[in-house]
Amino acid sequence: MAEAPEEKTTATKATETVKKIRGLVKGMSMLAHEARDRGQPVVYCFMGNMCDEIVRAMDMVPVWTENWAGLCAAVHRAEPFLLKAQAEGFSDKLCTYATCGLGFDIMRHELGEVPPDAPDGGMERPDAMLAIGLSMCDARHKWYQAVQRYMDVPVHTMGILVPPYDADLKEVESYYVDYMVEELKGMVEFLERVTGRKMDWDELSRLIDLSDETNRVWYEAYQLRKAVPAPMPSQDAMSAMVPGWYRLGTQEALDFYRQLYDEIKYRVDNKMGAIPNEKYRLLWGMGIPPWFALKLFNFFENWGAVFPIEVIYRPFDPVEIPAGVTHPLERLAWRTYKRGTYRYDKARNHTGDPDVELLIELIDDYKIDAVVYHRALSCRTVHTGRLHELAVLKQYRNLPSLILESDMVDVSSFSEEDIKNKIETFIEIVDAHKRGKKKNPRLSAS
Amino acid sequence: MAKAHVEQGSLSAAEQVYQDRSQRARQLRDKGKKIIGYFCAYPPVEMLTAANLVPYRIMGNPREAVVRADEYLESIVCSFVRSCFDVALQGGYDFLDGFVASHACDNIGKIYNIWQYNFKPPFSYFVNVPNTTSPASMKFFRAELGTFQRHLEKFTGSQITEQRLVEAIKLHNENRALMREIYALRKPDPPLLSAVEMNKILVASQSIPVEESKQLLRDVIQDLKKRHDGPAQKSARLMVVGSEIDDSPLFRLIEDSEANVVIDDACIGTRVYWHDVETEGDPLDNLVTRYLDKVMCPRTARERTGSREEDLDTKFGHILGLAREFGVNGVILYILRYCDNFGFDVPDMRDYLEKAGLPVLFIEDEYLISGARLKTRIEAFIEMIS
């Protein structure tokens, strides 16, 4: 193995397009701050809760509270908010996205104004909050209930349920989809009631078309990342996800991914790799990164390891909704259901686990040598079950794996020295495994 | 000992079930009965009984550190769930013919696949429980229970008729009523039984068939009513609020101090026994109403209809109601670490109860009780409120 070259201090981006993201995030905050002047209601929202197009079609401005907490982490300003929430009695073991956001809302409540130094001017005070049910995350319905302690703002909780992995989809499909449609109607009714706005159904249909196209282009762009050398690494994807998760249903998001597609294609056509001497291709498993220390990607790159693809924050797989479904809420419901159950049938006849199916696809398609997870200690939803997933994967693809631990927001959980040591040891294992595989191809399981 | 008279009777029987709680299930299995393990208070046990299956509550071991489960479950998983899995890995649930989990919380939701994969029970089902009480959620849950019913029928090869389901509902209602009667015996000062004894009865009741539980509870009531050697009067009457506080040394820890625990709001306690299922009308509809609407757990969100104060009443009024009904003068809020559903409610719940004049001791800890440290805090709290 070669000696590690000199270390960089920030996460190095390969693509120019993703460098626009910080400005885009600032723009999102600005839109919210200026919303009141434009007479637009502001809504606290969670990513992936099906509300993107609905909120925009009603001419409201979403504030993505998880994203804002991630921003606080990235600019290393989360700590005062976390400590504030803890002082109020919210455990430091709770989701730190939530406790960061709560800490901010508590401070604003106490100060009567936005706390000084809140990144991007803080979160705009909402007129309504859209919480979401258990299938996504416990914290995502409890957080906004807790916010009501400091802001008497109406909250609506919507249930979105996906069937368990062993469900017979033919048996349950109709009532799962019907439920989502009804719950979406409930969300629209709630927003109409508390803001006095009316849904523009034609606009909603248009925005769904736009977001479908956005996801399609995004998906196609990421298909290009299968190339060797890797044209765009995962640290770029951690930024590139912003339009797809927080600006869905906007022309800006579609334009972003079109540009990203063109840039990745150019890099592939010209064999431009993310790092100069690509030796190991790693998969970033399902894990929220430490937003305050994305430089950990550099630690890998220093050893010639690149992440061509990641499980988290990917665009959705292309799904087809049944012909004849035209009502926008039904389209949203079917889309969510189909995306949520995309690999169920395939898993049933193979590993039994749709998450493992995805891992196998990515490992094969992106020519992966090893798998890396980051376990964010305050998040049960994303990080529980990964040991199991790896155990199942081992039976189908025998690759080295590494689990790093810290958090997505709380910097006190991060030990740079420890992580560097683990990475160094891991790379040695990956290297040995790769050399062994070359000598004996049967080492790569079927 | 003065207690000997009672302990030779029904309490002793409860103690016996408690001490080796799988013994009866194993016996029944040897005789051809099928035993179904279930997690938490949300799977409708009435449906298992109606399917001629024996529901068996899955619990952990709060006296033993988790070791084996570390290989399977992340350290951030709720320690109760980890403990249950650890017990299973030791063969503690090797007699189960089936396993039912529900979407009560992230932790229990996630354990379903892992349990199913590792233990491969002949029957398994995940009851997907919505977390709101909206009409759409009620309708969904009704459909989901219909699917659950079909899967049970397929497994047993026998139809669950409406009549059988209603009979099972009545049986469980009677069982609940008897348990509430036992709870009521804790209202006097001093209570007629300790929380340690109550805990054993609760564990025993959820480890045997409902018909046998009914008989056990009847006997316990009869004996307790004649009892003259119950717990001594103490300076504090406490309520314990939390999630999976089953079989917990916590009660012993408290009652070894100058306090009696007289009521709970916990997952194997009042949350299971306080509400019956209606017997008139469609039984599945009635189960939906009972499990989704009547059971008060922070995992279920209720649409706010009034002021903030009214909303807090909706969320926590039942705790205050129980505290008043049982003459409590302090509450121990015992929250398991990594529990988002309870954790986010802590400041509101604490303030709500304190505002009503009830001092609150908030403890966040693992399922494995850390005795010495807790004892000091509990004693200080009791001293403060006495």
Scanning B125-144 for CB atoms below 8 A from A yields 126, 128-132, 134-137, 139-140, 143-144
Residue B3 lies in a domain: no
Give yes or no for a contact between A71 and A24, defined as CB atoms under 8 angstroms apart.
no
d(C-alpha B18, C-alpha B201), whole Å: 7
Q: In this predicted structure, what is the pLDDT of residue A57?
A: 98
Residue B208 lies in a domain: no
Whole-prediction pTM: 0.95
Q: Which residues of A touch B347 (CB under 8 A)?
A: 88-90, 146, 149
Residue B47 lies in a domain: yes
Is the CB of residue A87 less than 8 Å away from at least one CB of chain B? Answer: no
d(C-alpha A167, C-alpha B116), whole Å: 13
The helix (H) or strand (E) run that includes residue B55 is: strand B53-57
Mean pLDDT check: name the lowest of A283-297, B5-19, B136-150, B356-370.
Answer: B5-19
Q: Which whole number is the average pLDDT over B138-167?
A: 98
B360 vs B370, more confident: B360
Secondary structure letter of residue B69 according to DSSP: G
Judge: A161–B103 Cβ closer than 8 Å, yes or no.
Answer: yes
Q: In this predicted structure, what is the pLDDT of residue B247?
A: 77
Per-residue pLDDT band at B8 (split at 50, 70, 90): low
* Structure token pair of residue B315: 């969320």
Distance from CA of B337 to the nearest CA of A (A): 7
Tell me what ipTM this predicted complex has: 0.94
- Three-state helix/strand/coil letters over chain A: CCCCCCCCCCCCCCCCHHHHHHHHHHHHHHHHHHHCCCCCCEEEECCCCCCHHHHHHCCCEEEEHHHHHHHHHHCCCCHHHHHHHHHHCCCCCCCHHHHHHHHHHHHHHHHCCCCCCCHHHCCCCCCEEEEECCCCCCHHHHHHHHHCCCCCCCEEEECCCCCCCCCCHHHHHHHHHHHHHHHHHHHHHHHHHHHCCCCCHHHHHHHHHHHHHHHHHHHHHHHHHHCCCCCCCHHHHHHHHHHHHHCCCCHHHHHHHHHHHHHHHHHHHCCCCCCCCCCEEEEECCCCCCHHHCCHHHHHHCCCEEEEEECCCCCCCCCCCCCCCCCHHHHHHHHHHHHHCCCHHHHHCCCCCHHHHHHHHHHHHCCCCEEEEEEECCCHHHHCCHHHHHHHHHHHCCCCEEEEEECCCCHHHCCHHHHHHHHHHHHHHHHHHHHHHHHCHHHCCC
Give yes or no for a contact between B253 and B238, defined as CB atoms under 8 angstroms apart.
no
Q: In this predicted structure, what is the pLDDT of residue A444?
A: 42
Residue B127 lies in a domain: yes
pLDDT above 80 for B259: yes
pLDDT tens for each residue of B176-203: 999 999 999 999 999 999 999 999 999 9
Residue B55 lies in a domain: yes
Give yes or no for a contact between B295 and B203, defined as CB atoms under 8 angstroms apart.
no
- Which residue in the block uniquely carries the two structure tokens 């309520």? B239
Secondary structure letter of residue B124 according to DSSP: E
Identify which of A180, A287, A276, A291 has the alpha carbon closest to the alpha carbon of residue A233.
Answer: A276
CB neighbours of residue B338 within 10 Å:
26
Q: Which residue out of B111, B129, B152, B340 would a mutagenesis test of the A interface target, given it has the greatest number of A Cβ atoms within 10 Å?
A: B340
Q: Label residues B56-93 b or e (16+ Cβ within 10 Å = b).
A: bbbbbbbeeebeebeebbbebbbbbbbbbbbbbbeebb
Per-residue pLDDT band at B9 (split at 50, 70, 90): confident
Q: In this predicted structure, what is the pLDDT of residue A431?
A: 97
Identify which of A238, A260, A211 has the alpha carbon closest to the alpha carbon of residue A71.
Answer: A238
What is the domain-level CATH number for residue B124? 3.40.50.11890
Q: Determine whether B33 is exposed, middle or buried from the number of CB atoms within 10 Å of its CB (0-12, 13-18, 19+).
A: middle
Q: Which residues of B touch A186 (CB under 8 A)?
A: 134, 136
**A95, A171, A353 member nearest B340 (Cβ):** A95
Judge: B343–A166 Cβ closer than 8 Å, yes or no.
Answer: no
**B109, B114, B344 member nearest A142 (Cβ):** B344
For each of chain A's 446 residues, which pLDDT tens digit applies?
445 544 454 678 899 999 999 999 999 999 999 998 899 999 999 998 899 999 999 999 999 999 999 999 999 999 999 999 999 999 999 999 999 999 999 999 999 999 998 999 999 999 999 998 756 689 999 999 999 999 999 999 998 889 999 999 999 999 999 999 999 999 999 999 999 999 999 999 999 999 999 999 999 999 999 999 999 999 999 999 999 999 999 999 999 999 999 999 999 999 999 999 999 999 999 999 999 999 999 999 999 999 999 999 999 999 999 999 999 999 999 999 999 999 999 999 999 999 999 999 999 999 999 999 999 999 988 999 999 999 999 999 999 999 999 999 999 999 999 999 999 999 999 999 999 877 665 444 33
Identify which of A339, A404, A340, A412 has the alpha carbon closest to the alpha carbon of residue A374.
Answer: A404
pLDDT above 70 for B211: yes
pLDDT tens for each residue of A72-115: 999 999 999 999 999 999 999 999 999 999 999 999 999 999 99
Judge: A175–B130 Cβ closer than 8 Å, yes or no.
Answer: no
pLDDT tens for each residue of B91-112: 999 999 999 999 889 889 899 9
Secondary structure letter of residue B14 according to DSSP: H
Judge: B140–A159 Cβ closer than 8 Å, yes or no.
Answer: yes
Q: Which residues of B touch A131 (CB under 8 A)?
A: 301
Q: Determine whether B55 is exposed, middle or buried from the number of CB atoms within 10 Å of its CB (0-12, 13-18, 19+).
A: buried
**A89, A133, A386 member nearest B347 (Cβ):** A89
Is the CB of residue B26 less than 8 Å away from at least one CB of chain A? Answer: no
d(C-alpha B80, C-alpha B167), whole Å: 33
Q: Which residue out of B68, B70, B74 would a mutagenesis test of the A interface target, given it has the greatest number of A Cβ atoms within 10 Å?
A: B74
Per-residue pLDDT band at B210 (split at 50, 70, 90): very high
**B140, B338, B350 member nearest A175 (Cβ):** B140
Closest chain B residue to the Cα of A143, Cα to Cα: B344
Beta bridge mates, A382: none
Residue B286 lies in a domain: no
What is the DSSP annotation of B345-373? THHHHHHHHHHTT--EEEEEE-SS--HHH
Is the CB of residue B112 less than 8 Å away from at least one CB of chain A? Answer: yes
Is the CB of residue B77 less than 8 Å away from at least one CB of chain A? Answer: yes
The conformational region for residue B26 under phi > 0 = left, psi -120 to 50 = alpha, else beta, is: alpha
Give yes or no for a contact between A184 and A159, defined as CB atoms under 8 angstroms apart.
no
Q: In this predicted structure, what is the pLDDT of residue B7?
A: 46
Q: In this predicted structure, what is the pLDDT of residue B305?
A: 82
- Structural domain including B125 reads 22-158
Q: In this predicted structure, what is the pLDDT of residue A240?
A: 98
Judge: B106–A138 Cβ closer than 8 Å, yes or no.
Answer: yes
Q: Which whole number is the average pLDDT over B228-244?
A: 94
Query: Structural domain tally of chain B?
Result: 1
pLDDT above 70 covers what percent of chain B?
98
Identify which of A36, A41, A47, A76 has the alpha carbon closest to the alpha carbon of residue A59.
Answer: A41
Judge: A159–B350 Cβ closer than 8 Å, yes or no.
Answer: no
Scanning A364-403 for CB atoms below 8 A from B yields 375, 377-381, 383-388, 391-392
